[in-house]
């Protein structure tokens, strides 16, 4: 591990997506010797930079992510020689696999040839420039994922009802700081301490004083970046909170499990190495176990409803779409919509970049069937794009909310 | 206490006042001309006098922010409409409402569903107004015209901009306003139904609401006919939103307070802005001075006798005429809208010229632009010049070593990069981003200004609105939002000018400013606007040259061309001939082949004729199409043969295969495989418009690519036939041809069977084999058997393995035949010195409905057409700067590399609109071709059938190639 060249960089820039998760990840990476900076710049200039250096028909997340990197490079004086940008890569059939290459092109065109681009992937892509992923790192990342998902998930459940405004976020912030500290010292990562901390977190959040309020329950699904990133989705979360909603956003854990299980399914569908299947299955089981830790912690608090386990989500998917649909968010997105309906969140916003190819299939394409299974599903697909106007988007969301209010009457 | 519902829509404000018995006591509507807050204040002030205290609700797409600020109850407009319908109507089933910018469908009975058009499908009310503007009639007159229609044209029903590019050429061809009016209404109906029904049938009691449907009986008729229903337009159909808002328990409000808050709102709102154009008058004066240097001198025509040269530029919207003397001075210029009457304008001009100035002799004449061929035929003009050449000729007159020419005209943006004296790259705007002159004009007119006056307003704007770079439809709502946020007309004007420039730079040319070169000539009527010119210089950070005849450059170039190419005796019609000139226009259908192209024939007195609308040369030359130069035709012929004969013995039954997407590649394989298993195989053949319409009701995503949308029609057509099973497998992976690092299909090709399975309900009681299949995998036979056995239990592995082997052989044989034919085409072309074009895209671009038979057009223009897959088979895997893991993309890259080694071989890339992956491939193919300075040409295709733009692009490319090869 000491051989990993990536550690020599003074700054490894990471475009932000989900703030709680990414702050935890940053600390995990720093502890392992990678000088990670999570970018927080969000000015309008970011989109302008993206438009200038990325093909405008490329999907919106690429534009935002690359724009954010360029904006950061231009406004802060990073030394190109010792700065790198890291992006994740899945290597799937969605054009998102190309982000890294597009970023490289954009950096060259903007005059940052010397800034390095690193890949974080499990698909053996970019062998020259990648962060070396080993078991230790996987274990830590999964821990970060559990904490991140838990804090996000419970925060969403409690925030709309908190008596004292801002209390939930205070508690979350306290925990992010605490966990970061623990992680920096190599703690909070064993399964034992994870059990302990998840329980404490759930308990801590459960004790926030709340009051009964009439809220509309809204689920948010979609392309992973615009779903989570407030820069990408015009501050969707805040808008929904202001409109009097309790939101539920399925966690990143689901996406990770989906990505892993897709590899097993591919072998089952088309044939392939049984050894590979066995190894992937080990990883799959390990992450499922971590999911259980999280669900258990939530379950012990009466105040909270846990998420449906991933295995259930996958079973739900089978009723609607084939498990072979694995580009982009694939069958997961479809299943998440159906599961949200089951969980009492039939009002759903399906976010996607304008012209997102997989979402033609697994998003918009599947709504008909979901409505057959869950007749009260109230789904609105929203497209995100550099010039899709906020008013337009909000108007459509308001329509969905009106129908939701009508149903609750 | 009365209840007031205020509906602030995208173009109008409506209100109703209701008493306690829910009866309407007062109502009215007015266009707000985008001065929303003002108009709202005006209306509320009026109401306040009668009802100082009332219950007030606001609704409407433009009312949201306003209501929030004034703390007035807000109701979403579609929901509001539903509430009103529940109250006023007796169990309606479906509501269709068209507004200024929105289209909505509400399904009320059996499960409430509400639909609004997505952010892409603009149009409706504003769209009809825009089209009326093109027809030079008032928006309210469209209906009257439509009543008298005789004939219908197919107009793209997708978005306003597309429809516009369909209509403009029709106008230029002299189509009747009556027919166009009706066709426009049909396009609206098709767009609404196709985009919004999304698989749910519109039937039962259908209600029409909103302005366009209230005022246009013919539009209602179009909906009735398309849906086979008898819809109804109830009383107060304009006011349902307002009524619903009034009904939904508004809060008690003092109107005075609201008015007060509205006045504050006007002042406080903010919007995204960018730097202004000029900070003061001095700066502007310096700028003006600088641009006054680039002039062509004029000479009063009265003072001249002798030889003169005529240049005509017949553009899509305007006609330009230039007459020059021996010293290239202007004797006469004219610039006017052509209104589809280019011929009569030119003849009028010539008559005057011949009569008034008998001592001026036109010794040579040339014409360029859209109407080139028509005018050339009508008036016997000496030369027809490709637009690009005309523009280059005139630009190089101003500066010899010009690097880059950018021309922003009424309908299009054209850019040419010049390298070593020849045209190196051609950029044209695609139908989707035509934010050009007419775009500025449309906005100016909508806001009540003339274009020049409107553009001027922006010169000293302090905070221009940041509108980004997008197509008109998006821009509409951005402008509206800016207005809501209090942007002044000056700042909007400047913002629009800047966005035109950004659109050209980032959408059309897609480059960083520094790559254009130093000597840049800007031209086209749009650059007469100093605001646009300044915005361009600011964005580039460079001074550019705008000739004083910026709007006449094409015509001036043609005149220069005529002068440089003298003729023995000009054939241009003389006075006598013009006076005797007769012209008949005949609309007919070509009977030359099964395409039955709609032809417009202009016939002139001495036997000259000009035919428009044809895809091939047959009606013109009476020769059969030149299929010996066209691999597309050959492939189509081959593919048509994969269809079982009527009397095929069916041991296992009939299997239907839709000829869609990847089937265009794999059909020989699947056909043979199933035939060997003892099935009769029925395929759907190539797409037709009727077939598309058949399936459009079940399309769930209105922004998916056109080839995918066509799948629905193919499936419907298979369902009409007696088949036992339908075979359309899901395929994440394609064949591995070892040209890339992996062998994916794109998500749409891979998983469209899933969309079909969910959205075409009639399939549910059929055997629909849409399972996941990996044909490149070692275990394919075993896995495929498992799939097949679910449907046909008795198929054995042995049998299947044999069938697979036969299928593979058939597939290879198909490739072998294609490759051989390509060999022949290449050989033939080299012997005859024909250019070879690799028409590269995806296998499904072979569908004549998808590629609009651009292949035939290319052959007509004198080049040969070969296909990317065959060329790729002659090539190998090369390094790429993007991830190369899609089978079809890999073929593109390999074919592009192959072209590099042959001077007579060039690549044109076909791109389906909405193809997200091609955003990646186009840049890569371009950069491959640029390794050896090849010209990259991309043609974006969609539903549009008008090939005008494609034709110009192809001609320019071929002439540029010809010129380059000449120089070598």
**A162-171, B396-405, B409-418: the lowest-pLDDT one:** B409-418
Contact A56 B468 (CB under 8 A): no
Q: How confident is the model at residue B24 (pLDDT cuts 50, 70, 90)?
A: very high
Q: What is the DSSP letter of B20?
A: T
Contact A56 B506 (CB under 8 A): yes
What's the pLDDT at B116?
A: 78
Contact B748 A360 (CB under 8 A): yes
Q: How confident is the model at residue B419 (pLDDT cuts 50, 70, 90)?
A: confident
B647-697 pLDDT tens trace: 777 789 999 999 999 999 999 999 999 999 999 999 999 999 889 888 888
Dig out the tokens for B81 from the structure: 């409409």
Instruction: Check if A1 contacts B (Cβ < 8 Å).
Output: no
Instruction: Check if A55 contacts B (Cβ < 8 Å).
Output: yes
Instruction: Check if A59 contacts B (Cβ < 8 Å).
Output: yes
Average confidence (pLDDT) over B60-73: 84
In terms of CA atoms, which chain A residue is nearest residue B513? A52
Average confidence (pLDDT) over A45-57: 81
Average confidence (pLDDT) over B200-225: 91
A383-401 pLDDT tens trace: 888 766 777 788 889 889 9
Residues 209-238 of A with CB under 8 A from B: none
Contact A97 B111 (CB under 8 A): no
Interface test with A, best of B106, B919, B926, B927 (most A CBs within 10 A): B919
Q: What is the DSSP letter of B298?
A: B
- Examine the pLDDT at B589 and tell me if it is beyond 80: no
What is the nearest CA distance from B61 to chain A, expressed in angstroms? 7
| CB-closest option in A266, A271, A357 to B917 | A357
**B465-479, B544-558, B571-585: the lowest-pLDDT one:** B465-479
| CB-closest option in B113, B469, B478 to A51 | B469
Q: How confident is the model at residue B369 (pLDDT cuts 50, 70, 90)?
A: confident
In whole angstroms, what is the distance from residue B643 CA to residue B684 CA?
9
Instruction: Check if A395 contacts B (Cβ < 8 Å).
Output: yes
Dig out the tokens for B271 from the structure: 């919007």
For every residue of A257-309, which 3-state class applies, written as one string?
Answer: HHHHHHHHHHHHHHCCCHHHHHHHHHHHHHHHHHHHHHHHHHHCCCCCCCCCC
Average confidence (pLDDT) over A361-382: 91
Instruction: Check if A324 contacts B (Cβ < 8 Å).
Output: yes
- Examine the pLDDT at B48 and tell me if it is beyond 80: yes
**A77-86, A148-157, B249-258, B277-286: the lowest-pLDDT one:** B249-258
**A51-60, A107-116, B266-275, B889-898: the lowest-pLDDT one:** B266-275
Interface test with A, best of B747, B769, B887, B918 (most A CBs within 10 A): B747
What's the pLDDT at A262?
A: 93
Contact A93 B79 (CB under 8 A): no
In whole angstroms, what is the distance from residue B664 CA to residue B659 CA?
6
* pLDDT over 70 percentage in chain B: 91
In chain A, which residues have their Cβ closer than 8 Å to the Cβ of B119? 354, 383, 385, 388-389, 392-393
| B350 contacts B573 by C-beta, under 8 angstroms | yes
What's the pLDDT at B526?
A: 86
In chain A, which residues have their Cβ closer than 8 Å to the Cβ of B512? 52-53, 109
| CB-closest option in A44, A356, A357 to B746 | A357
In chain B, which residues have their Cβ closer than 8 Å to the Cβ of A388? 119, 474
B773-802 pLDDT tens trace: 999 888 999 999 999 999 999 999 999 999
Q: How confident is the model at residue A44 (pLDDT cuts 50, 70, 90)?
A: confident
What's the pLDDT at A123?
A: 65
In chain B, which residues have their Cβ closer than 8 Å to the Cβ of A44? 272, 466
A361-371 pLDDT tens trace: 999 999 989 98
Average confidence (pLDDT) over B350-371: 92
Instruction: Check if A325 contacts B (Cβ < 8 Å).
Output: yes
Average confidence (pLDDT) over A297-304: 94
Q: How confident is the model at residue B269 (pLDDT cuts 50, 70, 90)?
A: low
Q: How confident is the model at residue A55 (pLDDT cuts 50, 70, 90)?
A: confident
Contact B777 A109 (CB under 8 A): no
Instruction: Check if A267 contacts B (Cβ < 8 Å).
Output: no
Interface test with A, best of B58, B748, B916, B921 (most A CBs within 10 A): B916
What's the pLDDT at B433?
A: 45
Query: Would you mind telling me the total number of residues written for chain B in this entry?
Result: 968
B913-937 pLDDT tens trace: 878 788 889 889 999 998 988 888 8
Dig out the tokens for B217 from the structure: 């009986």
Contact A399 B78 (CB under 8 A): yes
- Examine the pLDDT at B561 and tell me if it is beyond 60: yes
Interface test with B, best of A55, A87, A129, A324 (most B CBs within 10 A): A324
In terms of CA atoms, which chain A residue is nearest residue B271? A44
Q: To which residue do tokens 């069938």 refer? A: B803
B288-311 pLDDT tens trace: 999 998 989 999 999 999 999 999
Cα end-to-end span (Å), chain A: 59
Contact B506 A98 (CB under 8 A): no
What's the pLDDT at B624?
A: 59
| CB-closest option in A356, A362, A403 to B79 | A403
Interface test with B, best of A93, A111, A268, A372 (most B CBs within 10 A): A93
What's the pLDDT at B512?
A: 65
Instruction: Check if A67 contacts B (Cβ < 8 Å).
Output: no
Average pLDDT, chain B: 86
- Examine the pLDDT at B108 and tell me if it is beyond 90: no
Which residues neighbour B514 within 8 Å (Cβ) at sequence distance 6 or greater? none
Contact B882 A369 (CB under 8 A): no
- Examine the pLDDT at B120 and tell me if it is beyond 60: no
Average confidence (pLDDT) over B373-402: 89
Of B766 and A93, the one with more pLDDT: B766
In terms of CA atoms, which chain A residue is nearest residue B920? A58
- Examine the pLDDT at B121 and tell me if it is beyond 50: no
What's the pLDDT at B420?
A: 73
Interface test with B, best of A104, A223, A269 (most B CBs within 10 A): A269
What is the nearest CA distance from A193 to chain B, expressed in angstroms? 41
Average confidence (pLDDT) over B693-703: 84
**B159-168, B207-216, B598-607: the lowest-pLDDT one:** B159-168
Interface test with B, best of A95, A121, A403 (most B CBs within 10 A): A95
Average confidence (pLDDT) over B252-278: 82
- Count chain A–chain B contacts defined by CB atoms under 8 A: 220
What's the pLDDT at A125?
A: 65
Contact A95 B885 (CB under 8 A): no
ipTM of the complex: 0.92
Q: How confident is the model at residue B471 (pLDDT cuts 50, 70, 90)?
A: low
Average confidence (pLDDT) over B400-411: 85
In chain A, which residues have their Cβ closer than 8 Å to the Cβ of B923? 55, 105
**CB under 8 Å, gap of 24 or more: what pairs does B218-222 form?**
B218/B142, B218/B143, B218/B146, B218/B147, B218/B181, B218/B182, B218/B185, B219/B98, B219/B128, B219/B143, B219/B146, B219/B185, B219/B188, B219/B189, B221/B185, B222/B182, B222/B185, B222/B186, B222/B188, B222/B189
Single out the residue of A87, A80, A122, A81 nearest to residue A101, CA to CA: A87
Average confidence (pLDDT) over B144-167: 75
What's the pLDDT at B764?
A: 87
Instruction: List phi, psi (to 5°) of A4.
Output: -60, 115
In chain A, which residues have their Cβ closer than 8 Å to the Cβ of B881? 101, 104-105
Half-sphere exposure of B792 (CA within 13 A, CB side): 24
What's the pLDDT at B779?
A: 92
| A237 contacts A253 by C-beta, under 8 angstroms | no
- Examine the pLDDT at B393 and tell me if it is beyond 60: yes
Residues pairing with B335 in the sheet: B320
pTM: 0.85
What's the pLDDT at A8?
A: 85
Which residues neighbour B766 within 8 Å (Cβ) at sequence distance 6 or greater? B719, B723, B725, B726
Contact B469 A95 (CB under 8 A): no
Q: How confident is the model at residue A2 (pLDDT cuts 50, 70, 90)?
A: very low
Residues pairing with B938 in the sheet: B909
Single out the residue of A277, A252, A274 nearest to residue A262, CA to CA: A277
Contact A272 B777 (CB under 8 A): yes
Contact A271 B779 (CB under 8 A): yes
Q: To which residue do tokens 């508690």 refer? A: A171
What's the pLDDT at B516?
A: 80
Q: How far is CA B899 from CA B488, B839, B905, B908, B956, in A?
A: 53, 11, 6, 11, 19
* pLDDT over 90 percentage in chain A: 61
| CB-closest option in A98, A375, A406 to B883 | A98
**A29-38, B875-884, B913-922: the lowest-pLDDT one:** B913-922
B181-211 pLDDT tens trace: 998 898 888 888 877 887 778 888 999 998 8
Contact A383 B782 (CB under 8 A): no
* pLDDT over 70 percentage in chain A: 95
């Amino acid at each position: 591990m000491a051989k990993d060249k990536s550690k020599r960089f003074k700054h490894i820039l990471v475009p932000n997506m989900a703030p709680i998760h990414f702050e935890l990840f940053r600390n995990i990476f720093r502890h392992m010797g990678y000088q990670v900076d999570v970018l927080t710049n969000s000015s309008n200039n970011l989109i302008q930079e993206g438009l200038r250096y990325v093909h405008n028909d490329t999907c919106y997340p690429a534009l935002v992510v690359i724009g954010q990197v360029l904006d950061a490079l231009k406004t802060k004086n990073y030394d190109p020689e010792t700065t790198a940008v890291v992006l994740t890569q899945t290597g799937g059939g969605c054009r998102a696999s190309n982000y890294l290459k597009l970023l490289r092109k954009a950096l060259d065109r903007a005059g940052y040839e010397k800034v390095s681009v690193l890949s974080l992937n499990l698909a053996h892509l970019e062998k020259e420039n990648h962060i070396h992923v080993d078991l230790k790192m996987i274990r830590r990342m999964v821990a970060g994922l559990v904490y991140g998902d838990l804090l996000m998930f419970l925060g969403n459940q409690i925030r709309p009802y908190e008596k004292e405004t801002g209390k939930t976020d205070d508690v979350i912030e306290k925990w992010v700081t605490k966990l970061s500290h623990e992680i920096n010292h190599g703690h909070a990562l064993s399964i034992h301490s994870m059990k302990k901390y998840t329980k404490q977190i759930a308990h801590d959040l459960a004790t926030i004083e709340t009051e009964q309020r009439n809220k509309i329950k809204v689920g948010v699904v979609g392309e992973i970046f615009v779903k989570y990133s407030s820069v990408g989705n015009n501050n969707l979360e805040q808008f929904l909170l202001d409109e009097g909603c309790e939101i539920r956003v399925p966690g990143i854990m689901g996406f990770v499990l989906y990505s892993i299980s897709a590899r097993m399914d591919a072998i089952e569908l088309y044939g392939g190495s049984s050894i590979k299947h066995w190894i992937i299955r080990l990883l799959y089981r390990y992450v499922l176990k971590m999911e259980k830790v999280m669900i258990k912690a939530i379950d012990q608090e009466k105040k909270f409803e846990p998420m449906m386990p991933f295995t259930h989500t996958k079973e739900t998917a089978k009723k609607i779409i084939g498990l072979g649909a694995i580009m982009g968010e694939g069958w997961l997105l479809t299943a998440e919509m159906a599961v949200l309906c089951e969980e009492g969140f039939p009002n759903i916003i399906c976010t996607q970049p304008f012209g997102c190819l997989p979402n033609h299939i697994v998003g918009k394409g599947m709504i008909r069937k979901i409505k057959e299974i869950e007749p009260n599903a109230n789904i609105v697909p929203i497209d995100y794009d550099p010039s899709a106007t906020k008013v337009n988007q909000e108007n459509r969301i308001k329509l969905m909310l009106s129908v939701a209010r009508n149903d609750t009457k | 206490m009365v209840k007031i519902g205020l509906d602030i829509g995208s173009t109008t404000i409506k209100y109703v006042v209701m008493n306690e018995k829910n009866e309407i006591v007062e109502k009215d509507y007015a266009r707000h001309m985008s001065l929303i807050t003002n108009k709202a204040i005006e209306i509320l002030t009026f109401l306040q006098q009668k009802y100082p205290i009332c219950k007030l609700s606001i609704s409407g797409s433009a009312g949201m922010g306003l209501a929030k600020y004034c703390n007035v109850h807000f109701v979403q407009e579609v929901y509001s409409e539903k509430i009103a319908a529940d109250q006023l109507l007796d169990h309606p089933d479906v509501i269709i409402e068209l507004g200024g910018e929105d289209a909505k469908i509400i399904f009320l009975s059996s499960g409430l569903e509400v639909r609004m058009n997505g952010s892409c499908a603009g149009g409706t009310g504003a769209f009809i107004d825009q089209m009326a503007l093109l027809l030079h009639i008032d928006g309210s007159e469209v209906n009257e015209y439509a009543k008298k229609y005789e004939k219908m044209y197919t107009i793209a029903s997708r978005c306003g901009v597309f429809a516009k590019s369909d209509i403009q050429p029709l106008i230029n061809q002299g189509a009747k306003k009556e027919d166009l009016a009706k066709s426009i209404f049909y396009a609206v109906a098709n767009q609404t139904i196709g985009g919004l029904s999304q698989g749910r049938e519109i039937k039962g009691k259908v209600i029409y609401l909103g302005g366009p449907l209230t005022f246009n009986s013919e539009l209602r008729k179009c909906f009735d006919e398309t849906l086979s229903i008898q819809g109804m337009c109830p009383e107060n159909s304009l006011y349902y939103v307002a009524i619903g808002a009034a009904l939904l328990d508004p809060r008690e409000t003092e109107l005075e307070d609201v008015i007060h808050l509205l006045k504050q709102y006007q002042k406080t709102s903010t919007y995204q802005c960018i730097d202004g154009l000029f900070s003061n008058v001095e700066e502007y004066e310096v700028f003006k001075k600088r641009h006054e240097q680039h002039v062509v001198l004029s000479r009063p025509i009265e003072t001249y006798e002798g030889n003169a040269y005529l240049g005509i530029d017949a553009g899509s919207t305007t006609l330009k005429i230039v007459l020059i003397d021996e010293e290239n001075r202007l004797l006469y210029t004219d610039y006017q809208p052509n209104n589809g009457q280019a011929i009569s304008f030119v003849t009028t001009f010539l008559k005057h010229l011949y009569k008034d100035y008998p001592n001026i002799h036109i010794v040579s004449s040339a014409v360029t632009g859209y109407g080139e061929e028509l005018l050339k035929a009508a008036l016997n003009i000496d030369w027809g010049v490709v637009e690009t050449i005309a523009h280059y000729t005139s630009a190089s007159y101003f500066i010899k070593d010009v690097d880059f020419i950018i021309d922003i005209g009424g309908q299009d943006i054209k850019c040419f990069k010049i390298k070593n004296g020849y045209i190196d790259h051609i950029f044209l705007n695609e139908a989707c981003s035509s934010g050009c002159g007419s775009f500025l004009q449309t906005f100016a007119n909508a806001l009540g200004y003339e274009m020049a006056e409107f553009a001027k307003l922006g010169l000293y704007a302090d905070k221009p609105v940041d509108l980004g770079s997008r197509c008109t439809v998006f821009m509409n709502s951005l402008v509206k939002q800016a207005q809501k946020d209090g942007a002044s007309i000056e700042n909007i004007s400047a913002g629009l000018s800047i966005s035109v420039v950004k659109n050209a730079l980032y959408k059309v040319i897609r480059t960083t400013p520094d790559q254009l070169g130093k000597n840049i000539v800007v031209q086209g009527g749009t650059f007469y606007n100093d605001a646009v010119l300044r915005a361009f210089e600011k964005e580039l950070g460079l001074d550019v040259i705008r000739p004083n005849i910026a709007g006449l450059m094409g015509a001036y170039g043609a005149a220069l061309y005529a002068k440089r190419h003298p003729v023995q005796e000009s054939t241009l019609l003389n006075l006598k001939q013009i006076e005797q000139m007769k012209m008949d226009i005949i609309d007919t259908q070509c009977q030359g082949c099964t395409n039955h192209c709609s032809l417009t024939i202009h016939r002139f007195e001495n036997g000259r004729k000009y035919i428009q609308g044809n895809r091939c040369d047959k009606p013109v030359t009476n020769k059969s199409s030149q299929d010996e130069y066209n691999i597309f035709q050959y492939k189509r012929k081959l593919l048509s043969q994969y269809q079982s004969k009527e009397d095929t013995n069916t041991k296992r039954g009939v299997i239907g295969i839709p000829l869609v997407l990847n089937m265009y590649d794999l059909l020989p394989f699947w056909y043979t495989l199933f035939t060997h298993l003892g099935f009769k195989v029925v395929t759907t053949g190539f797409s037709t418009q009727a077939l598309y319409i058949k399936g459009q009701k079940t399309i769930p995503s209105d922004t998916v690519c056109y080839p995918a949308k066509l799948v629905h029609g193919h499936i419907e057509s298979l369902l009409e036939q007696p088949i036992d099973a339908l075979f359309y497998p899901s395929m994440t992976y394609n064949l591995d041809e070892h040209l890339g690092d992996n062998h994916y299909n794109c998500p749409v090709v891979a998983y469209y069977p899933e969309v079909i399975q969910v959205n075409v309900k009639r399939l549910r009681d059929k055997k629909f084999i849409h399972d996941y299949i990996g044909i490149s995998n070692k275990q394919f036979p075993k896995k495929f058997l498992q799939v097949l056995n679910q449907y046909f239990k008795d198929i054995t592995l042995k049998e299947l393995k044999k069938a697979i082997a036969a299928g593979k052989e058939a597939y290879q044989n198909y490739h072998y035949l294609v490759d051989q034919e390509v060999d022949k085409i290449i050989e033939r072309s080299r012997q005859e010195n024909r250019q070879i074009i690799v028409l590269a895209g995806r296998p499904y671009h072979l569908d004549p409905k998808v590629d609009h038979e651009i292949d035939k057009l290319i052959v007509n223009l004198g080049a040969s057409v070969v296909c990317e897959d065959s060329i790729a088979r002659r090539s190998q895997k090369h390094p790429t700067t993007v991830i190369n893991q899609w089978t079809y993309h890999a073929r593109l890259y390999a074919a592009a590399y192959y072209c590099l080694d042959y001077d007579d071989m060039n690549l044109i890339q076909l791109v389906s609109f909405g193809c997200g992956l091609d955003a990646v491939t186009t840049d890569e193919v371009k950069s491959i071709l640029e390794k050896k300075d090849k010209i990259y040409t991309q043609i974006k295709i969609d539903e549009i059938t008008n090939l005008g733009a494609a034709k110009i692009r192809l001609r320019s490319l071929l002439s540029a190639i010809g010129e380059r090869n000449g120089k070598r």
